[in-house]
A and B are shown apart, each in its own frame.
Chain A
């Protein structure tokens, strides 16, 4: 498979604290690449760094053959690298419709806005029903759908999903997980950061295990499911 995103020896810091200590990974084109790891392993930092939300400190990021290591977030979005952030961060005082349309702010997405909106409503009929409701009045699951929909409105090529099921009821988390393979079918590449190892292994093609800011293990999902070390550490015997 051709790589969508190539990350080499990436570092990231919050002030003096170095959180990522040289992470290298490859995101597969039109596939789900997962990053699993416990709380504080650096998953969100990695995602924020990839989305251009943290100042570049070291390492290289290549997207579709071009160096994007130092680009600002809006330039990355314009090129098709879009983060759906942890905690959803929807605009509570805007309607569902406004949340979605503002997602298509970059020039590439703007031209296609109406079509993309239809696609998003196909994925999430609930959002269509609640289109004139304020974002803040939605339930947690609906807000996650809205955050995903808003990300899709940016017309991404590579979608970075940071813990999309955090704090959601198991039934709704399951729904969100079921949507991800559908996104790949649309032609998207996905990097998924998750704590739920079981469900992640079920939908991911390739998995990286992040431990203390470095890649501790990696492999095809199928292989990792049988890996004794992963079983012990993350799956609970």
Chain B
């Protein structure tokens, strides 16, 4: 008898479904005109961001409220080096810079847990924001115009590819020994240590890895807005939105962030232009509702319907 740590037989459908779904949406977005191109771009951006967040926070239970810092660092690197080095290089470099930053701060930041970790990550992102704001204004560059950015369609291909990659990473890590180790950390960190999970190493790696794709997305979205402004790319609302989507969709499962992003963007597209106030009211209500009644999000609700509750002794 063998114990399947990675069940490869069920991987293929999930991978194909992700890729086919992404290609379909990209195709629809491009053929149906610029409005839908933007909708598709936003959808993939949020999937990529939330999926990456889930890779660390969903799996370990350490809730990061500062993931925008990776996005901002990536955007900053791409904006500063714009026209100096080509985008195909600067965008991955932006991801790398975000990952390196996370790696460096991981050791001190990951010493605290629970609400302290939440507050610390939030504070850290704000700190970086104001340091860069100070630097930029000192050099007389409160914002940078980025002329000659690629077309939205081109950006869409990049972002869609990153969303697919992020989804597959979350999916495969969840099934790997690395992912099982992270799940043990989420369940009980001390117990994880006693059974020999290299807790610190795993947390640091996951934290750094979860910053790379958001860094690249940040760079791409700076291209999309065609100008760079520190306050915009380090906007804490981005962090909040990521966490909201993860809560509504359900973290710790690669399908959760997709559902969360679809749900929130769907709601936004329906209400944004007609009743923006209603949108925020509903969003608040949904968030409260999910936290209270469906803490595992939409994916948790689906799973609960699929399999009846296990027998209780």
| Contact surface of A with B, Cβ cutoff 8 Å | 51-53, 72-74, 76-78, 82-85, 89-94, 98, 101-103, 105-106, 109, 113-114, 117, 130, 132-134, 137-139, 142, 150-151, 153-154
Bound CA–CA A113/B1 (angstroms): 10
Q: Are A101 and B5 also in contact (CB < 8 A) when A73-B196, A74-B198 are?
A: yes
Which segment of B20-28, B99-107, B186-194 sits at the interface? B186-194
CB <8 Å contact, B196 and A74? yes
Q: Which 6 A-B pairs have the closest CB atoms?
A: A77-B196, A89-B191, A91-B187, A106-B196, A74-B198, A73-B193
CB <8 Å contact, A74 and B193? yes
User: How many A-B pairs fall under 8 Å by CB?
Assistant: 88
Among A53, A84, A92, A103, which residue has its beta carbon within 8 angstroms of that of B190?
A53
Bound CA–CA A89/B193 (angstroms): 11
Q: Are A91 and B194 also in contact (CB < 8 A) when A74-B199, A101-B3 are?
A: no
Bound CA–CA A132/B311 (angstroms): 10
CB <8 Å contact, B195 and A103? yes
Q: Are A102 and B184 also in contact (CB < 8 A) when A137-B310, A137-B313 are?
A: yes
What chain A residues lie within 8 Å of B191 (beta carbons)? 85, 89-91
Q: List 30 A-B contacts (CB under 8 A).
A: A52-B193, A53-B190, A73-B196, A73-B199, A76-B196, A77-B194, A77-B195, A78-B196, A82-B195, A82-B196, A84-B194, A89-B191, A89-B194, A90-B188, A94-B183, A98-B180, A101-B5, A102-B180, A105-B195, A105-B196, A106-B196, A109-B196, A117-B3, A130-B313, A133-B313, A137-B312, A150-B195, A151-B194, A153-B195, A154-B196
Q: Shortest CB–CB separation between residue B202 and chain A, in angstroms?
A: 10
What chain A residues lie within 8 Å of B187 (beta carbons)? 91-94
Bound CA–CA A102/B183 (angstroms): 10
> Which residue from chain A places its CB closest to the CB of B187 in the assembled complex?
A91
Q: Are A89 and B190 also in contact (CB < 8 A) when A102-B180, A133-B311, A137-B313 are?
A: yes
Among B177, B183, B310, which residue has its beta carbon within 8 angstroms of that of A134?
B310
Bound CA–CA A73/B194 (angstroms): 7
CB <8 Å contact, B194 and A105? no
Q: Shortest CB–CB separation between residue B188 and chain A, in angstroms?
A: 5
| Contact surface of B with A, Cβ cutoff 8 Å | 1-3, 5, 177, 180-181, 183-184, 187-188, 190-191, 193-200, 310-313
CB <8 Å contact, A139 and B313? yes
> Which residue from chain B places its CB closest to the CB of A95 in the assembled complex?
B310
CB <8 Å contact, A105 and B197? yes
Bound CA–CA A94/B184 (angstroms): 9
What chain A residues lie within 8 Å of B310 (beta carbons)? 132-134, 137
Bound CA–CA A162/B187 (angstroms): 20
Q: Shortest CB–CB separation between residue A146 and chain B, in angstroms?
A: 11
Bound CA–CA A91/B181 (angstroms): 12
What chain A residues lie within 8 Å of B311 (beta carbons)? 133, 137
What chain A residues lie within 8 Å of B199 (beta carbons)? 73-74
Q: Shortest CB–CB separation between residue B184 and chain A, in angstroms?
A: 6
CB <8 Å contact, A113 and B197? no
What chain A residues lie within 8 Å of B198 (beta carbons)? 72, 74
Bound CA–CA A133/B312 (angstroms): 8
Among A53, A103, A106, A139, which residue has its beta carbon within 8 angstroms of that of B193?
A53
CB <8 Å contact, B313 and A85? no
Q: Shortest CB–CB separation between residue A85 and chain B, in angstroms?
A: 5
CB <8 Å contact, B3 and A151? no
Q: Shortest CB–CB separation between residue B100 and chain A, in angstroms?
A: 24
Q: Shortest CB–CB separation between residue B173 and chain A, in angstroms?
A: 15
Among A82, A94, A130, A138, which residue has its beta carbon within 8 angstroms of that of B194?
A82
Q: Shortest CB–CB separation between residue A52 and chain B, in angstroms?
A: 8
Q: Are A114 and B196 also in contact (CB < 8 A) when A105-B181, A134-B310 are?
A: no
> Which residue from chain A places its CB closest to the CB of B4 in the assembled complex?
A101
Bound CA–CA A135/B187 (angstroms): 11
Bound CA–CA A95/B187 (angstroms): 12
Q: Shortest CB–CB separation between residue A53 and chain B, in angstroms?
A: 6
Q: Shortest CB–CB separation between residue A161 and chain B, in angstroms?
A: 12
What chain A residues lie within 8 Å of B197 (beta carbons)? 74, 102, 105
Q: Shortest CB–CB separation between residue A213 and chain B, in angstroms?
A: 21
Bound CA–CA A150/B1 (angstroms): 19
Among B2, B195, B313, which residue has its beta carbon within 8 angstroms of that of A102?
B195
Q: Shortest CB–CB separation between residue B199 and chain A, in angstroms?
A: 7
Q: Shortest CB–CB separation between residue A128 and chain B, in angstroms?
A: 12
> Which residue from chain B places its CB closest to the CB of A133 in the assembled complex?
B310
CB <8 Å contact, A138 and B196? no
Bound CA–CA A93/B199 (angstroms): 19
Q: Shortest CB–CB separation between residue B120 and chain A, in angstroms?
A: 20
Bound CA–CA A138/B311 (angstroms): 11
> Which residue from chain B places its CB closest to the CB of A132 in the assembled complex?
B310
What chain B residues lie within 8 Å of A117 (beta carbons)? 3
What chain A residues lie within 8 Å of B177 (beta carbons)? 105
> Which residue from chain B places its CB closest to the CB of A93 in the assembled complex?
B187
Bound CA–CA A53/B188 (angstroms): 14
